Chains A and B, each alone.
Chain A
Amino acid sequence: MTLNLELKKILLVEDNPTMRKAIMEMLYMLHAQHIVETNNGIGAVAALTQDQFDIVLCDYNLGPGKNGQQVLEEARFNKLLPVGAVFIMVTAEQNQSMVLGAMDSRPDEYLIKPFNSQQLLNRLERSCARKHFFEDIARAADQGDLSSAIHYCEQRLGQDHKNMRMPLLKMRAELAIDTGDYATARQIYLDVLEQRDLPWARQGLGIIAFLEKNHEQAIDVFQQVLNQNPMMLETYDWLAKAQEAAGENLEALDTTHSAVDLSPQAILRQKKLALLADKTENTAIAEKAYKAAIKLGRHSIHKSSSDYSGLAKVYLKTNATAEALRVVEELHQQFTDDPEAELRAAALATEAYQKMGDAALTRQAYEKMLELNRQFGNRIAKELRLEIATVCRLNEDHQASDRILDELVKSYVDDPEFMSDIKKMCATFNNSDYAKKLIQRTRQEVIEIHNQGVRLFKEGKLNDALALFEQALAKMPDNKTMLLNMAKVMIYDIKANGSTREKILRTEAAIKKTRQSGIAHDKITELQMALAKITRPQSTSHQS
């Protein structure tokens, strides 16, 4: 195929003026007409926000400020790139493209410098053709409509596209995993491995083992893959996950540490390392990783006040109170008009002043924290709310602490990991009994409401069931059982009583809430597929 660049909108991001000019000339030589050029990351993000581009050519190393990976992460995070757009990262050497293996965002292609116009054209043709080939699959998947994505994928596999066969199979297997259809995914990986020992197929088998909770087997597979392919950074992440799930936290720390050594620029991995170091009480690694995350965060969409708070807590733990206060100060400067950051800062300051024995300053910081919590408490992350409850308790304010715990247990009683965090926190204050009873009582309450709802549902009183769950959710806003029940009843209602635009909208909103609450991915997919099935009558022929 020949690519017509005349109609394509192209963004070129390159800081070196000579290189930029050279690439511009190549593009003009290839008949491109709409080219926007910029020499830095902020300019790139601004251009992507303003305009929809078909092709982005972005150099990785952009001097001071955002680098190419950070531009890509921000573009993906804020959905600045159209589904059919091609993002090509220009790097200095092949190894760099391996090392850049970020935890979430990947470019469509890496292009290694130097290249001439013919090479550029070749690469553009290949990646545009591939993107076009996958466009409807990607669009459906992007909209959460996995059943259509699978349909398109199967259709393409049935035709004879020999040069797209491998990426299609890979995509099909990943879609199968996303819908919980592990048998299909496993068969695809095994078929591929029959022909050739490809690391992604082996890794796929490991992922399935992990998802089926065969953690030891998953660990084995991932380690084998890494023995052969020491630069497969994604496999380190999976291995660490499996080790953590198997309770091998020290091993998970080691694994993540190795990956960070190979690829120190990936901010999400640095954050993960810091959390694992916290968990295993390795303050040296935690300090280093939090510092790295803070530094990398400066120009990143993943900049977060929690990294500052993590570092400050490491210092508090090692009694380096002055350092902790310095970090709190920096946190203040870096985040303005950010209630979550202010809350973190106030909580940390309270702890630090208390450690120093300064009653007046402690009181002052504590009052500020309570005030912020009153204003914003229901909008912030559960982990931070638990921290605030802890600080209340440290300040002997049992009433405030218990109130927060009460709300947290109501909302997250279905999250065993978080409940064990709450139990742990209460245990440090010799208050295990309180947590145990509270959790038990709440669980009972949830079960009763659930049973009542199911009864109403079976009696066909759908509206009463919905009202009941709605009422319950007012008291326990993020409760997973209630959210799931609500969405299920809504879907059934459409099935039984016909669909209206309003019903579909409210169901979609309910599903969106389940996603935000962190309910397991496959359960949400199940809901989405069920909704898609009844709202979109199966079209018999997708002709393309």
Chain B
Amino acid sequence: MPDAHLLTVNFPALLASSIHDMKNSLATVRALIAQLKGTCPEPPAREFEQLEFEANRMNNSLMQLLILYKIDSFSFNLSIDEHAVTDVFNEVIAQQSSLLSLSNIELTSDCSEDLFCYCDMTLIVNALSTLVNNAQRYCRRQILLTASRDNDYMVFCIEDDGPGYPESFISSDAKQTTQIDLATGSTGLGLIFVATIAKMHANGDNRGLIKIDNDSRLGGARFRLYLP
């Protein structure tokens, strides 16, 4: 029988503090990459793009794990305020800016200046960035970011021109994305994160939610985030 008390510390807490440490290291790595790119006479674009992309992905995952840990241990709440949707989009585009400048993918956003919504801006920017990041892996050339009002909800919509989600994924309903598939390396972390953040946004009886389908105007996948 394995000794259940071999570990003398609380494992989730250890994991969280280690993630925190890794995040700091990663920040230094990213700063170094940026510096190298500046000093390199002819930076190999392809490799730098890959480096940036992977570092960005790692950072997003670590950040999501940390926030989910805090939510799980009841030491997190949203900071809800009223924000202009254009501000939210500008942040998302800024976060992806160095990456997009390296690739040949076009990220466009379209929304009216006078759309406002109540949300935790930092979290929603992170959630949308995760989704854009994901779209970047599968799209061919284009990602479209839009927002519109649907009754009591603000709907953020991310569409791409890739092959779309696999049929099994769509039919399995977003709720079951918690199935972790170690074999394929698809942890579903990003989706769990976005779905959790959506659910935490509540107004009266309405709660945020996500919808996934292949009805993109660009012919690929469409992800919609509904916030009350």
Contacts and interface: CB of A to CB of B under 8 A. Distances in A.
A165 B114 CA distance: 13
B67 A95 contact: yes
A198 B35 contact: no
A158 B178 CA distance: 49
Interface in A252-268: 262
B82 A114 contact: no
B31 interface: yes
A94 B124 CA distance: 12
Contacts of A538: none
A114 B84 contact: no
B63 interface: yes
B98 interface: yes
Contact of B67 (A94, A228, A232): A94
A65 B75 CA distance: 28
A283 B32 CA distance: 50
B50 interface: no
B94 A114 contact: no
A122 to B, nearest CB: 5
Nearest to B91: A122
Nearest to B71: A95
Given A94-B123, A162-B116, A196-B118, A126 B87 contact: yes
A94 B76 CA distance: 10
Interface of A (DSSP majority class): helix
Contact of B81 (A25, A198, A230): A198
A114 B27 contact: yes
A229 interface: yes
Contacts of B111: none
A18 B31 contact: yes
Contacts of B79: 98
A92 B17 CA distance: 12
A19 B23 contact: no
A228 B35 CA distance: 44
Nearest to A29: B38
A121 B90 CA distance: 11
A30 to B, nearest CB: 12
Contact of B76 (A92, A114, A162, A231): A231
Interface residues of B, number: 41
A399 B123 CA distance: 66
B75 A230 contact: yes
Contacts of A428: none
A112 B38 CA distance: 23
Interface of B (DSSP majority class): helix
A198 B80 contact: yes
A22 interface: yes
A163 B24 CA distance: 34
A424 interface: no
B70 A25 contact: no
B76 A19 contact: no
A21 interface: yes
Contacts of A7: none
- Name which of A18, A229, A262 has the most chain B CB atoms within 10 A of its CB: A18
Nearest to B118: A196
Contacts of B28: 16, 18-19
- Name which of B26, B59, B97 has the most chain A CB atoms within 10 A of its CB: B97
Interface in A384-403: none
B188 to A, nearest CB: 22
Interface string B35-56: 1001000000000000000000
A116 interface: yes
Contact of A95 (B38, B76, B87): B76
A18 B32 CA distance: 7
B134 interface: no
Nearest to A21: B35
Contacts of B24: 92, 113
Nearest to A19: B31
A214 to B, nearest CB: 26
A163 B82 CA distance: 8
A323 to B, nearest CB: 30
Interface string A181-222: 000000000000000111100000000000000000000000
Nearest to B99: A116
Contact of A93 (B23, B74, B95): B23
B22 to A, nearest CB: 11
Interface in B101-139: 114, 116, 118, 122-123
A166 interface: yes
B34 interface: yes
A162 B94 contact: no
A116 B31 contact: no
Contacts of A117: 98
Interface of B: 20, 23-24, 26-28, 30-32, 34-35, 38, 59, 63, 66-67, 70, 74-77, 79-82, 84, 87, 90-91, 93-95, 97-98, 114, 116, 118, 122-123, 203-204
Given A21-B35, A162-B84, 11 more contacts: A25-B34, A92-B27, A94-B122, A95-B75, A98-B76, A113-B24, A114-B27, A165-B82, A196-B118, A228-B77, A231-B76
24 contacts: A18-B32, A22-B34, A22-B35, A25-B38, A92-B24, A93-B63, A113-B27, A114-B30, A114-B31, A114-B59, A116-B97, A118-B93, A118-B98, A119-B94, A121-B94, A162-B116, A163-B116, A165-B82, A196-B118, A197-B204, A230-B76, A231-B77, A232-B77, A262-B75
